[in-house]
């Protein structure tokens, strides 16, 4: 007897595809081996539906966007009809007519979605002229360059910053053909709340948002025989650089990268996983101390610079909770500039420390004043994976064919624990491997803590530390971190230790990693797998077993959290202004001798009631009859967020203002000045 199987199926270009929960026609078409082109579709972002590249013809319904249309049983879909082709070609002409077309001098030359689609369609003329408007490029940050002339208004950056970061520095502005994508009021990136993470540039299909290149400085350094150029390679980078040379994502090419760098002219190549091991020990010991004393908990990791700057701007109440340990990049920089140079017999000024990172925010981190001494930064140059690839290509190296070389001694390699820093959950797992042995005194046989692995946005685990149960949480994606913090502040959830990574997937999803289409999520999974494989292939898998680490402590640091360690491997944090200087004028003094008062209405102070204080202040000026000699305004951040509400009287900032002390401060700090001036 024939079984009639009821099947839900659609037909794509004549091929029957059985539906299996695909959420849109794009996914169905993939099963028919058709890769429908898109600009504005990302499987991890909300659907936008505006680029119109993915239009297909559905029988009976006309042209429909494949990214936002759910497949329904019985649909007959054609991905290439004359209507579709006519539309696709002309739409690309529209894009090109409004795009800066000097591809040969663009950062994304040969690696650009627009180029790829135009080429695949065989566009050989643009009947709509050229772009006339020339807008200035924004090079105001260390990490990113924004070129609005190359923007195709797909909105990927808008959605990335809103949904992944929950910051939203970009939005669409104006309307119609005047539409732009830009930060508020057309400001520069350095003037808004950008955390430099580069998630926007990862999603950008053209050269509108690219990594700011330090390649020129790097070439200058390696080609200068006078200088000793020392590189450190971050874990995440080693499973991704191969992608630019035809190797699959996740393939471990550490040895080849070392070889390539040596060919280019780097004098020493080290492993950031080594300083990751350092971080494990320093941070874990700090954690134990806090656990013992029961203070400054929860402890948050601090190796992610985007997370750190976000916390400095928004979570003044948690600044004490961030781990004081520096990030592996900065620890290594410090080791190079304070220890290695001696071993290398080279003066400090002649050592150039270069880090090879998956991350654009690291470029900002390296320039934090705390990490620069006597005008010499601990890390001189930060190269992202993309820039490293560029250098390898410029040097005409056949990467695939290279024989691998090992890292240099004495700080050669990191342990497997250090290597997994590059994936979300890696730091936690590395710390757990150390903590177990340190606190129980027993050897850890099973080193893999599968419970903290995975791509779920927030994961939690409970670990038994010698009797004391410790709750840990791992979160990646800044928006998810914000939710977690909110829950923790409201008391809904509590953890003792929290690992925060800004980028989805952890550092393997960083802003400086090679750009991949079309299945980014699959790439992240493979890179993560690659790191875990590298861990498995490591001889040493725990930070405490790393002989180089033991060596460093012996020779230099003495012990974890020692004074030397505190000085060179730890740091501090401070409240930062969220938005640039702006003032709302509320009362204007007219006389030449006057006092200027600014009341902070930034989020923290605002929530603490600074607006009411502002009103009281105005009343006070009326009461004392000095309205014409006291200017009052509202400003956005006086950078004392933990101590707010804050007010600034002339140049001095007063913190902890309340209804109780306002009058006194007014009399002491304002009236006295006015009296003085009349004398």
Partner 1 sequence: MRFENREQLEKYIIELKNKNGKKKVLICGGLGCLAKGAEEVLDTFRKVIEREKVEAEVEKLEESPHLVKTGCMGLCEAGPLVRIEPEGILYLRVKPEDVEEIVDKSLKEGEVVERLVYQEKVNGEVHYWPHLKDVPFYRKQVKIALRNCGSIDPQNLDEYLARDGYLALAQVLNEKTPDEVIEEITKSGLRGRGGGGFPTGRKWQFARVVKADKKYIICNGDEGDPGAFMDRSVMEGDPHSILEGMAIAGYAIGAQEGYIYVRTEYPLAVKHLRKAIEDAERAGFLGDNILGSDFSFRIIVREGAGAFVCGEETALIASIEGKRGMPNPRPPYPAYRGLWGKPTVINNVETLTNVPIIMLRGVDWFRSFGTASSAGTKTFALAGKIKNTGLVEVPMGVTLRDLIFGIGGGIQDDKKFKAVQIGGPSGGCLTERHLDLPIDYDSLSGAGAIMGSGGLVVLDEDTCIPEVARFFMNFTQNESCGKCVPCREGTKHMLGLLQKVVKGEASTSDLELLEETAQVVRDSSLCGLGKTAPNPVLTTLFYFRDEYLDHVVHKVCPAHICQAMKEYRIDPEKCRACAKCARVCPVSCISGRPRVPYVIDQEKCTKCGACFEACPFDSIIVEWRKKEDE
Partner 2 sequence: MEIEKESLVLSRQFEKVNAILRKYSHNVDNLIAILQEIQSEYRYLPEEILTYVATALQVSPAHVYGVATFYAQFSLEPKGEHIIRVCDGTACHVKGSAQILKAVRENLGLREGENTTSDLMFTVETVACIGACALAPALMVDEEVYGQMDEEKVQQLVDHLLGEGEKVDAV
Residue 474 contact, options partner 2, partner 1, none, Cβ 5-8 Å cut-off depending on partner type: none
Residue 58 contact, options partner 1, partner 2, none, Cβ 5-8 Å cut-off depending on partner type: none
Residue 300 DSSP SS3:
strand
Relative to beta strand 228-233, strand 209-211 is: unpaired
Active-site residue, 550 included:
no
d(C-alpha 127, C-alpha 64), whole Å: 25
- Paired residues of 408 in beta bridges: none
Neighbours of 444 (CB within 10 A): 18
CB 277 within 8 A of CB 418: yes
**Cβ 156 to partner 1, closest distance in Å?**
13
How would you classify residue 31: left for phi > 0, otherwise alpha for psi between -120 and 50, otherwise beta? alpha
Residue 284 contact, options partner 2, partner 1, none, Cβ 5-8 Å cut-off depending on partner type: none
Contacting range for partner 2; rule: CB under 8 A; set: 14-22, 111-119, 161-169, 444-452 = 161-169
**Cβ 77 to partner 1, closest distance in Å?**
15
**Cβ 125 to partner 1, closest distance in Å?**
11
Half-sphere exposure of 305 (CA within 13 A, CB side): 26
**Cβ 24 to partner 1, closest distance in Å?**
10
Active-site residue, 8 included:
no
Q: Which of 155, 509 has the CB closer to partner 1?
A: 155
**Cβ 62 to partner 1, closest distance in Å?**
7
Q: Which of 50, 405 has the CB closer to partner 1?
A: 50
The residues in 568-597 that bind partner 2, with binding defined as CB under 8 A, are 579, 582-588, 590
Active-site residue, 283 included:
yes
**Both tokens assigned to 436:** 């177990």
Cα 414 from chain centre:
23
Residue 354 DSSP SS3:
strand
Query: What residue ranges bind partner 1 (CB under 8 A)?
Result: 47-52, 55, 62-63, 65, 68-70, 83, 86-87, 90-91, 94-95, 97-98, 127-128, 152-153, 155, 171-172, 174-179
Contact call for residue 90 and partner 2 (CB under 8 A): no
- Could you give the angle at which helices 305-314 and 478-490 cross, rounded to 10 degrees? 40
Cβ-based burial of 437 (10 A; exposed 0-12, middle 13-18, buried ≥19)? middle
Active-site residue, 362 included:
yes
Residue 217 contact, options partner 1, partner 2, none, Cβ 5-8 Å cut-off depending on partner type: none
Residue 49 contact, options partner 2, partner 1, none, Cβ 5-8 Å cut-off depending on partner type: partner 1
d(C-alpha 243, C-alpha 535), whole Å: 20
Residue among 165, 285, 365, 643 flagged as catalytic: 365
Residue among 112, 151, 303, 605 flagged as catalytic: 303
Residue among 201, 302, 323, 355 flagged as catalytic: 323
Q: Tell which residue, 325, 535, 341, has the closest CA to residue 425.
A: 535
**Cβ 193 to partner 2, closest distance in Å?**
7
How would you classify residue 136: left for phi > 0, otherwise alpha for psi between -120 and 50, otherwise beta? beta
Return the exposure string of 189-214: e unless at least 16 CB atoms fall within 10 Å of the residue's CB, then b.
bbbbbbbbbbbbbbbbbbbbbbbbbb
> Residues 484, 490, 496, 499: what is their CA dihedral angle, to the nearest 10 degrees?
20
Active-site residue, 82 included:
no
Active-site residue, 623 included:
no
Length of the chain: 679
Q: Tell which residue, 98, 57, 51, has the closest CA to residue 76.
A: 57
Choosing from 107, 193, 267, 496, the residue that interacts with partner 2 (CB under 8 A) is: 193
**Both tokens assigned to 124:** 């050989």
Residue among 100, 251, 285, 286 flagged as catalytic: 286
Residue among 165, 182, 282, 283 flagged as catalytic: 283
Relative to beta strand 372-373, strand 595-600 is: unpaired
Residue 572 contact, options partner 1, partner 2, none, Cβ 5-8 Å cut-off depending on partner type: none
Query: x/- contact string, 615-644, with partner 2 (CB under 8 A)?
Result: x--x--------xx---x-x-x--------
Which residues are identified as catalytic?
283, 286, 303, 323, 362, 365, 370, 507
Using CB under 8 A as the criterion, which residues of the chain lie in contact with partner 2 when the complex forms?
Answer: 162, 167-175, 182-185, 192-193, 579, 582-588, 590, 601-603, 606, 611, 615, 618, 627-628, 632, 634, 636
């Amino acid at each position: 007897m024939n079984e009639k199987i009821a099947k839900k199926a659609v037909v794509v270009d004549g091929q029957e595809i059985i539906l299996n929960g695909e959420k849109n026609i794009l996914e169905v078409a993939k099963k028919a081996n058709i890769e429908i082109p898109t600009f504005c579709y990302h499987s991890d972002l909300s659907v936008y539906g505006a680029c119109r590249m993915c239009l297909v013809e559905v029988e009976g319904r006309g042209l429909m966007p494949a990214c936002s249309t759910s497949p329904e049983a019985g649909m007959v879909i054609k991905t290439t009809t004359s209507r579709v082709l006519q539309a696709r070609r002309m739409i690309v002409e529209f894009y090109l007519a409004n795009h800066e077309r000097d591809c040969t001098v663009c950062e994304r030359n040969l690696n650009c979605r627009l180029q790829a689609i135009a080429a695949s369609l065989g566009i050989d003329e643009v009947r709509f002229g050229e772009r006339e408007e020339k807008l200035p490029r924004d090079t105001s940050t260390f990490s990113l360059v924004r070129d609005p002339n190359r923007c195709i208004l797909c909105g990927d950056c808008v959605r990335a910053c809103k949904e992944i970061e929950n910051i939203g520095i970009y939005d669409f502005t104006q309307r119609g053909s005047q539409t732009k994508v830009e930060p508020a009021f057309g400001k520069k990136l350095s003037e808004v709340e950008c955390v430099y993470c580069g998630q926007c540039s990862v999603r950008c299909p053209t050269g509108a948002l690219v990594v700011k290149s330090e390649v020129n400085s790097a070439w200058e350094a390696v080609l200068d025989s006078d200088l000793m150029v020392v590189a450190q390679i971050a874990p995440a980078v080693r499973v991704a650089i191969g992608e630019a040379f035809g190797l699959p994502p996740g393939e471990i090419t550490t040895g080849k990268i070392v070889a390539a760098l040596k060919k280019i002219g780097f004098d020493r190549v080290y492993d950031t996983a080594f300083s990751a091991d350092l971080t494990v020990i320093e941070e874990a010991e700090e954690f134990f101390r806090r656990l013992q004393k029961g203070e400054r908990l929860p402890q948050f990791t601090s190796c992610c610079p985007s997370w750190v700057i976000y916390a400095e701007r928004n979570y003044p109440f948690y600044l004490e909770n961030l781990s004081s340990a520096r990030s592996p990049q900065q620890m290594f920089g410090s080791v190079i500039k304070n220890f290695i140079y001696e071993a290398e017999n080279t003066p400090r000024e002649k050592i150039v420390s270069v880090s090879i990172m998956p991350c654009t925010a690291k470029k900002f981190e390296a320039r934090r004043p705390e990490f620069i001494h006597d005008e010499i930064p601990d890390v001189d140059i930060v190269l992202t994976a993309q820039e490293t690839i560029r250098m390898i290509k410029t040097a005409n190296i056949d990467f695939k064919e290279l024989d691998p070389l090992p890292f240099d001694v004495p700080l050669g390699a990191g342990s497997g624990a250090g290597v997994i820093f590059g994936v979300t959950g890696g730091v936690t797992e590395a710390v757990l491997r150390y903590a177990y042995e340190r606190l129980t005194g027993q050897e850890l046989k099973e080193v893999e803590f599968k419970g903290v692995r995975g791509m779920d946005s927030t994961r939690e685990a409970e670990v038994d530390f010698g009797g004391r149960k410790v709750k840990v949480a791992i979160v990646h994606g800044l928006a998810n971190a914000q939710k977690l913090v909110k829950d923790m502040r409201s008391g809904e959830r509590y953890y003792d230790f929290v690992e925060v990574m800004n980028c989805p997937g952890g550092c393997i999803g960083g802003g400086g990693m090679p750009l991949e289409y079309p299945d980014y999520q699959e790439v992240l999974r493979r890179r993560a797998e690659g790191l875990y494989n590298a861990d498995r292939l490591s001889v040493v898998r725990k930070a405490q077993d790393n002989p180089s680490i033991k060596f460093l402590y012996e020779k230099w640091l003495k012990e974890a959290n020692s004074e030397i360690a505190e000085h060179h491997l730890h740091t501090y944090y401070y409240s930062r202004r969220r938005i640039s200087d702006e003032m709302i004028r509320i009362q204007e003094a007219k006389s030449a001798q006057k006092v200027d008062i600014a009341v902070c209405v930034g989020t923290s102070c605002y929530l603490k009631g600074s607006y009411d204080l502002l009103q009281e202040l105005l009343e006070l000026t009326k009461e004392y009859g000095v309205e014409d000699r006291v200017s009052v305004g509202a400003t956005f951040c006086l950078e004392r967020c933990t101590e707010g509400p804050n007010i600034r009287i002339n140049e001095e900032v007063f913190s902890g203002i309340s209804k109780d002390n306002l009058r006194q401060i007014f009399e002491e700090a304002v009236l006295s000045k006015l009296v003085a001036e009349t004398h």
